[in-house]
Structure 1
Amino acid sequence: MPSFSSDFANKHVLVTGGSKGIGRYIVEAFLAEGANVSFCARTIRGDEFSLFKGATNGACAVGTAVDIGKPDEIKSWVNQAAEDFGRIDSVIANASPMIWEATVEGWENSFRADILGLVTLIDASTPFLEARVKASENASLVVISSMAGFEARHPIAGSPYSTFKRAQAVLAKDYARKLGALGIRINSIVPGCIETPNITLPDGTVQLSQYQIVKRDNYPFYKSLLDDISLGRTGIPEEVANTVIFLASRLSSFINGAHIVVDGGMSLFF
């Protein structure tokens, strides 16, 4: 019987939106497991993980500026990352522009990033993941959705965020039929109220997290979410990252097309 280990040492993982928020903690979790990580974000400084001391096995993180609403940029990033590390073992689709404006332009931009960008990422990565399957190794994708896509609690009614977060989870379930036949697993995580902290950059400046901005500017909305969590607290990003490691690894080898809810019991009916 295999040991209870993620077995990510010397593997290579792609993470979109890996410079801040939950994505940042996902990158750090893989580094701690000994996996090399290629991450992307709209802007890259190059020192995003210079202060992180938890990497094992000499693992490193390489950032690339990518607009996930532009298919050519996604394809180029995936191909270059595969060339740089010689393989792709897992892909974590975390990035989202979080467009909240209830406008036609907002819906169009969100669709290009959240849906077409996700489809492009999956399709571009599939040949490299299939190569791992042919080598009798684990290959998987994890899509980060949101409880906002399953409960209409978003503070701005009529915005595209809730709709497309639900669509991402459904898309992952549908792709499980296609990719499962190739031996590639794909699952989605549905985070609830996850309190991402602010980030202190290497130069000492503080970058406010989107969560902290909402908590500051719309505290009644934050409090309404907190009151509905049966555990009595908000989640932390590490709790989502730990779930990502599980779903991405061989530890979940018979889980495919699932939605894993990480919300502290906010939506017990789901």
Structure 2
Amino acid sequence: MDLGLAGRRALVTGGSRGIGRAIVEALADEGATVAFCARSADGVEKAVAELSASGRAVRGAAVDVADGDALRSWVTSAGEELGGIDVVVANVSALAIPSSEENWEASFRTDVLGTVRLVEAAMPALEASDAAAIVTISSVSGREIDFAAGPYGTVKGAIVHYTQGLAHQLAGRVRANTVSPGNVYFPGGVWESIEANNPDLYAHALGLNPTGRMARPDEIARAVAFLASPAASFVSGTNLVVDGALTRGVQL
């Protein structure tokens, strides 16, 4: 299937590693030009070098999405450099799980406001596109109660609500969808750290998935690429769960 992303222009937050890096790769492999940001300047530089060496059309910048002014400035400059914006993917999370006031604040600034500010800054360019799409990254922790039911799960649920509201408000102009991954394992990621430092939790989480494994970043990225593409032209307001049948609740 041709997703129709060739020549499209996409912005991805948190694109230097893990799921975000895989999303950048998936969009670029479909022919999109991708601008991404991440907090680490070294990480961005390394990712740009590796992705460009493989022939992918990418640009990177060091941006902390919790800094509203910096995020808005990046969206504006990236949109100007790309000549417009067709797709935005809000991927960054504070990954703040323990229930402390600091983590509640970090989750709101990074996950919620980082998503809202990205969308609002990109909206003028998106509304000028003939195939505009917003994709937000939530989590199965936003859909059901699990060990991350504090700040992380709460804000992930809020992101689904926000995105479905956008889909209704922007219907016919800009599509908006969410992807909710289950546990995703990759080098340097949170589950690799948990495997090393809390093997009981890792074994418990792994045992909950009937597939017997966790997802790979590319498996999440392909779902994002589809929802971001013109091939999904009549899909808006959905929360696509990609979890290998981990969750057991019925999504009505």
- Interval of TM-score (by shorter of Structure 1 and Structure 2): over 0.9
- 1:204 alignment partner in structure 2: none
> Is the Cα contact below 8 Å between 1:44 and 1:63 reproduced in 2?
no
Moved more, 9-18 or 98-107: 98-107
SS at match of 1:140: strand
State yes or no: 1:164 paired with 2:163. no
Q: Find out whether 1:232 has 2:212 as its counterpart.
A: yes
| Aligned position for 1:50 | 49
Match of 2:26 among 26, 29, 34: 29
**CA displacement 1:161-216 (0-9 Å, x = unmatched):** 111011111111111111214x10000011002112x2xxxxxxxxx222210121
CA distance in 2 between partners of 1:266 and 1:195 (Å)? 14
1:59-70 aligned at under 5 Å gives the runs 59-70=56-67
Does the CA-based 8 Å contact 1:16-1:23 persist in structure 2?
yes
Instruction: Please state whether the residue corresponding to 1:168 is helix, strand or coil.
Output: helix
TM-score, structure 2 normalization = 0.92
Gaps of 5+ in 2: none
Residue type at the aligned position of 2:171 = G
Aligned residue number for residue 183 of structure 2 = 193
4+ long deviations beyond 3 Å: 52-55
How many residues matched? Answer: 248
The separation in 2 between residues aligned to 1:13 and 1:225, in whole angstroms, is 33
CA contact (8 A) 2:182 2:246 kept: yes
Letter paired with 1:47: K
1:233-248 equivalent positions in 2, closer than 5 A: 233-248=213-228
Distance 2:62 2:221 in 1: 22
Instruction: Please report how far the alpha carbon of residue 54 of structure 1 lies from its aligned counterpart in structure 2 after TM superposition.
Output: 8.3
Deviation at residue 232 of structure 1 after TM alignment: 2.5
Q: Does 1:210 align with 2:209?
A: no
Deviations 1:56-80 (A, max 9, x none): xx54211111111121111111100
Q: Counterpart of 2:101?
A: 104
Structure (1/2) with the larger helix percentage? 2
Indicate conservation of the 8 Å contact 2:72/2:121, yes or no: yes
Displacement, 1:269?
2.5
**Correspondence 1:81-160 to 2 at 5 A:** 81-133=78-130, 138-154=131-147, 159-160=150-151
Contact 1:140/1:184, CA 8 A, preserved across alignment:
yes
Q: Which runs of 5+ in 1 are unaligned?
A: 199-207
Percent identity, aligned pairs only, is 39
Q: Counterpart of 1:96 in structure 2: which amino acid?
A: S
Which whole-Å CA distance do the structure 1 matches of 2:99 and 2:184 have between them? 24
* SS class of match (2:88): strand
Query: Conserved in 1, the CA contact under 8 Å of 2:144 and 2:249?
Result: no
Q: Does the 8 Å contact 1:31/1:54 carry over to 2? A: no
User: How far off is 1:52 after superposition?
Assistant: 3.9
Change (3 A) 1:54 1:32: farther
Look up the equivalent residue of 2:225 and give its one-letter code: I
Q: TM-score w.r.t. structure 1 length?
A: 0.86
**Residue 40 of structure 2 aligns to which amino acid in structure 1?**
T
Per the alignment, in what secondary structure is the counterpart of residue 63 of structure 1? Answer: strand
- How far 1:47 sits from its partner (Å)? 2.3
* SS of residue in 2 equivalent to 1:143: strand
- Deviation of 1:112 (Å): 1.4
Give the structure 1 partner of residue 165 of structure 2.
Answer: 174
* CA distance 1:53–1:71, shift in 2 (3 Å): closer
Distance 1:195 1:53 in 2: 25
